[in-house]
Amino acid sequence: MAAPDPRVIRLLMELRRMGIADTKVLAAIEKVPRQLFVAAPFLDQAYENHALPIACGQTVSQPYIVALMTQALQVNDRTKVLEVGTGSGYQAAVLAQLCRRVYTIERHKPLLKQAEERFRTLRIHNITSILGDGAKGWPEQAPFERIMVTAAAHDIPPLLVDQLQVGGIMVLPVGEASSGEQDLVRVVKLERGIDIQHLGPVRFVPLVEGIAET
C-alpha cells in the first residue's frame, strides 16, 4: 500500500481548519488525484489551496471551495446530481465519490473531451456528460435532487430551480463576475418558493449562455 502523499495530508488538514467537517467530503478530496486535473505548468501547485487556470479561459476551483460546495450540497449514495460547468472535471469527480449519479454539462468542447478522458482514466462510471448550454439545465433528466453550478449567475436561474425537485438543494455563486462581488448561496426548493442561505464571498468565472465556438 502506497504511503500517504504529504501534500494531500497537508491540504486535508488545512480544509479541516477552514471548517470542512464532513469526513466523507474530505475522503473524496483525498481520493481524487487533483494533479490529473491541473495543466502541466501548474503541476507543482496541484495540492495548493487556490484556483488554477485551465484551457478556454476557465479555472479549476480552489480545493476549499470544492469541499465547501460539496459539503453544502449534502449528497449521499442515492443522490442524483446535476452539475453545470464540467470544466476540468475535478468537481464532478469529487461528487461522483459520494452520490449515485452525476449529470454534468460543459459548453466548451475541448474541456469536455479532456474531462471525459480523465473520468475514463480514473474508472469513474457514474458520471454522464454532455456538450450543452448549462444555463438551460438538462430538462430531459430532470428532476434532480441536487444541482451545483460552478460559474457565477447574475441571479438564481429560474430554469434550474424548475429542474430541482421539492426539498432539493442547489449550490451556486451569484453576482457579477466583472465586479468581483459574488456570494455563494445554498438554495432549498420549497412547495412554494425557495429558501436561500448565504455561505460567503467567492470568485468564479461567469455563467455564459450557449455553446462556445471551438
What residue ranges define each of the domains in the chain, with the CATH number in brackets? 64-202 (3.40.50.150)
DSSP-assigned states of every residue in 62-131: PHHHHHHHHHHH---TT-EEEEE--TTSHHHHHHHTTSSEEEEEES-HHHHHHHHHHHHHTT--SEEEEE
pLDDT of the residue at 180: 66
Give the residue, 214 or 13, on which the prediction is more confident: 13
Beta strand 181-189 with 194-202 is antiparallel
User: Which tens digit of pLDDT belongs to each residue from 96-121?
Assistant: 999 999 999 999 999 999 999 999 99
- The pLDDT value given to residue 18: 97
Summarised one tens digit per residue, pLDDT across range 32-89 is: 999 999 999 999 999 999 999 999 989 999 999 999 999 999 999 999 999 999 999 9
Q: Are 159 and 137 contacting, i.e. CB atoms less than 8 angstroms apart?
A: yes
Q: What is the DSSP string of 185-208?
A: EEEEE-SSSEEEEEEEEE--PBP-
| Average pLDDT score over the chain | 94
Residues designated catalytic: 61
Question: Tens digit of pLDDT for each residue in 128-148?
Answer: 999 999 999 999 999 999 999
Cα separation, 20 vs 71, in Å, equals: 7
